Amino acid sequence: MEDEATVRLLARIILQRAGYTVVDAASPADAEVLWASMAPVDLLLTDVVMPGRTGPDLFRRLSAGRPDLPVLFMSGIADWDLFDRAGVAHPAAFLEKPFSAAALLAQVRQVLDRRGAQEV
**Mean pLDDT score of the chain, rounded to an integer?**
86
**Tally of structural domains, the chain:** 1
CATH number (domain holding residue 24): 3.40.50.2300
Does residue 33 belong to any structural domain of this protein? no
pLDDT for 55 equals: 86
Does residue 23 belong to any structural domain of this protein? yes
Does residue 85 belong to any structural domain of this protein? yes
Q: Supply the pTM of this predicted model.
A: 0.86
Q: What is the DSSP letter of 68?
A: T
Mind listing the pLDDT tens digit for each residue in 75-107?
887 666 766 776 677 666 888 889 999 999 999
Mind listing the pLDDT tens digit for each residue in 25-41?
988 999 999 999 988 89
Which carries the bigger pLDDT value, residue 91 or residue 66? 66
The Cα–Cα gap between 78 and 97 comes to 10
User: Which range of residues forms the domain containing residue 71?
Assistant: 5-28+42-107
